[in-house]
Amino acid sequence: MSHIQKALEWRYATKQFDSTKKLTEEQLNTILESMRLSASSYGLQPWKFVIVQNPEVREKLKAASWNQPQVTDASHFVVLCVRTDVNEAYVDAYMKKISETRSVPVEQLSGYADMIKGTLGRRTAEQILEWSTHQVYIALGTALLAAAETNIDACPMEGFESSTFDTILDLPAKNLSSRVCIALGFRAESDEMAKAPKVRFDSSDVVIEIA
């Protein structure tokens, strides 16, 4: 079994965190960097990741998450958000970043920029948000893998009231909207699910090969 397979066998959606154990700054940065470096369509990165450390704010978020304890008990709680300002100006800013990073004249990127703008232009605002949400979930998957690789426990969370989160965190003012969360930390010894065998369908049930 490969190292990555062992890591994925080890991980589970941790529901009970040991609130006394905290991630180091290096451990947290590893997860955040994994999300920052994650794949996204066109490389557009239509996301931001909001780290919520304030205990009072996390208590409010917990109430908007049907009182799931991992919101407050985990070492760190991150809200993965879509950007609501993915438009032509945002594409231009991305082209500028490519130009600066790769030392390419921005004029040479006009064809690529026009292609992306054309794709966005054929979609409604709601469709762009849906597309952006798909990209955020790629970042979530990358974070879960990075956490497992470094023996950090994590729990992906969709069970929360997004509109309430947005209000509590003042996300609309930041051109953001919450989509999914990830609690990070270390499992509590009392969590029986840590010892439970992982339940997955067999490879033959989920993999189809077309020769």
Task: CATH number of the domain at 43, please.
Answer: 3.40.109.10
Whether the full predicted model's pTM is greater than 0.95, yes or no, is: yes
The structure tokens listed for 208 are 């189809």
Query: Within a domain: residue 136?
Result: yes
The mean pLDDT value for 88-114 works out to 98
Residue-wise DSSP of 77-134: EEEEEEES--SHHHHHHHHHHHHHHHT--GGGGHHHHHHHHHHHHTS-HHHHHHHHHH
Percent of the chain at pLDDT exceeding 90? 100
The mean pLDDT value for 119-124 works out to 97
The mean pLDDT value for 41-45 works out to 98
The structure tokens listed for 196 are 């439970």
Distance CA 82, CA 48 (A): 7
Distance CA 211, CA 199 (A): 29
User: Taking 90 as the threshold, does the pLDDT of residue 7 lie above it?
Assistant: yes
User: Taking 90 as the threshold, does the pLDDT of residue 1 lie above it?
Assistant: no
Q: Do residues 152 and 186 touch, judged by C-beta distance below 8 A?
A: yes
Residue-wise DSSP of 29-87: HHHHHHHHT---GGG---EEEEEE--HHHHHHHHHTTTT-THHHHSSEEEEEEEES--S
Please measure the distance between the N-terminal and C-terminal CA atoms of the chain and give it in whole angstroms.
26
Residue recorded with tokens 């130009």: 99
CA 44 to mean position of chain CA atoms: 15
The structure tokens listed for 102 are 């790769």
As for how many domains the chain has, the answer is 1
Percent of the chain at pLDDT exceeding 70? 100
Q: What is the maximal distance between C-alpha atoms in the chain?
A: 59
DSSP reduced 3-state for 27: helix
Query: Within a domain: residue 38?
Result: yes
Strand order in the sheet with 153-157: 47-52, 76-83, 176-185, 153-157
The mean pLDDT value for 115-133 works out to 97
Note the pLDDT of residue 158: 98
Note the pLDDT of residue 65: 98
Query: Within a domain: residue 104?
Result: yes
User: Taking 90 as the threshold, does the pLDDT of residue 23 lie above it?
Assistant: yes
- Could you tell me how many residues make up the chain? 211
Residue 41 belongs to domain spanning? 3-206
Q: Do residues 171 and 165 touch, judged by C-beta distance below 8 A?
A: yes
User: Taking 90 as the threshold, does the pLDDT of residue 18 lie above it?
Assistant: yes
Distance CA 136, CA 80 (A): 7
Query: Within a domain: residue 211?
Result: no
The structure tokens listed for 116 are 């992306």
**Which tens digit of pLDDT belongs to each residue from 132-187?**
999 999 999 999 999 999 999 999 999 999 999 999 999 999 999 999 999 999 99
